[in-house]
Amino acid sequence: METEQLIITAVLLVLLGEVTYLVAKLPRNVQSKKNYIFVDTSVLIDGRIIAIAESGFIAGTLAIPRSVIGELQFMADNADNDKRAKARHGLDIAKQLQGIDGIDVELFQDGSKAEEGVDERLLKLAKQYGGAVCTIDYNLNKVAAVEDIRVCNVNELAKNLRMAYLPGEKMTIEIVQKGQDNHQGVGYLEDGTMVVVEQASKYIGQKVEIEFIRSLQTAAGKMMFAKKVEVNRGNVHGLPGKKSQAKKNGKEEQRSYKNRQKKAHQPESREDTLVRLANR
């Protein structure tokens, strides 16, 4: 009985040794279970990473290499006033990231100085650990893409989230239903954004040219308001026709005459008296 137990123990020890050896031989990026996102200097100086982190859109471990902190420290000590201020801001952002609840932030100990350059060090770390690079540096973005390294570009994110249409811009849209008010018509952009068009309820089923007025961002999504672009038929070149212009001029003249008559029957104010005396 004791002999069998000894044999079983020996077999288990051998198996344990083999498993340990195989694990030790695995590449480091296979051993690492963390999804590292390596942050570069430009992102920390930029600061928008704080809002992204607080919104909960970072899926992985936000790794701040010690070499990046070292570069910021060097800039804060030796650069000109403008760069010193930016570097100190970047150090503050790194500290704020560490204090945000709900995200995993790790100060990655890769050495305080990257002899080959911080950008090269970031690419090396991303390759070694199968991670991504978070940057707004255009050239670093391009090099990472060439080397097939995943990039989280804050500028690209901001661009994709930017409102597609700004107030004053025009486009053609199909009115598909009535709005909340009887005079309103509703259409949709290609991305599903609802557009409420004033005075367009009678154009349901038709395509009309609209001009965006304003937008409303809510927790439920984005909504835009617009007005129908009126086509002036008085002149094909977009200039007012003779009849409409004459009618407009007549109304303005009549309004001006009424104002003069009204002022004539009113006592002269102190301000009017001063103006009259000053013009003598």
What's the whole-model pTM score? 0.54
In tens, the pLDDT along 119-132 reads 999 999 999 999 99
Burial 163-180 (b: 16+ CB within 10 A, else e): eebeeeeeeebebeeebe
The CATH 2.40.50.110 portion of the chain extends over 170-228
> CATH second-level architecture of 27-161?
3-Layer(aba) Sandwich (3.40)
Q: Indicate whether 11 pLDDT > 90.
A: no
Higher pLDDT, 262 or 79: 79
Positions of E strands within 162-242: 170-174, 177-178, 185-188, 194-198, 207-218, 221-228
Q: Considering only CA atoms, which of 159, 92, 90 is closest in space to residue 118?
A: 90
CATH 2.60.120.260 at 170-228, yes or no? no
Pairing of strands 132-135, 36-39: parallel
Tell me, what's the pLDDT at 71?
92
Q: How far apart are CA 253 and CA 260, in angstroms?
A: 11
Q: Which of 118, 13, 126 is nearest to 60 (CA)?
A: 126
Q: What is the DSSP letter of 229?
A: P
User: Could you read off the pLDDT of 38-68 as tens digits, one per residue?
Assistant: 999 999 999 999 998 988 888 889 999 999 9
Position 236 scores a pLDDT of: 47
What is the structure's pLDDT at 279? 47
Name residues whose C-beta falls within 8 Å of residue 14's C-beta, 6 or more positions apart in sequence. Answer: none
Range scoring the smallest mean pLDDT among 34-38, 180-184, 249-253: 249-253
Q: Residue 87: which residues within 8 A CB-CB, separation 6 or more?
A: 45, 72, 73, 75, 76, 79
Backbone angles phi, psi at 99, to 5 degrees: -95, 0
Q: Which of 125-134, 214-223, 250-259, 266-275 has the lowest mean pLDDT?
A: 266-275
Q: Is the pLDDT of residue 196 over 80?
A: yes
What confidence score (pLDDT) does residue 143 get?
93
Average pLDDT for 8-27: 59
- Token duo for residue 124: 């090396």
Residue limits of CATH 3.40.50.1010 in the chain:
27-161
Mean pLDDT calculated for residue range 175-179? 91
pLDDT reported for residue 162: 66
Report the run of H or E that residue 61 belongs to, with start and end: strand 61-65
Q: Quote the percentage of the chain above a pLDDT of 90.
A: 40
H/E element holding 12? helix 2-25
Residues facing residue 217 across a β-bridge: 222
Which residues lie closer than 8 Å to 47 by C-beta, 6 or more apart?
89, 90, 93
Q: Once rounded to an integer, what is the mean pLDDT over residues 99-112?
A: 88
**Mean pLDDT score of the chain:** 79
The single residue listed with the structure tokens 């409303």 is 216
* Sheet of 61-65, strands arranged across: 104-108, 61-65, 36-39, 132-135, 150-153
User: From CA 27, how far away is CA 129, in angstroms rounded?
Assistant: 9
Q: What is the pLDDT of residue 29?
A: 45
Report the 10 Å Cβ neighbour count for 28.
9
Q: Return the higher-pLDDT residue of 119 and 160.
A: 119
223, β-bridge pairs: 194, 216
What's residue 25's pLDDT? 58
- The whole-angstrom separation of Cα 132 and Cα 150 is 5
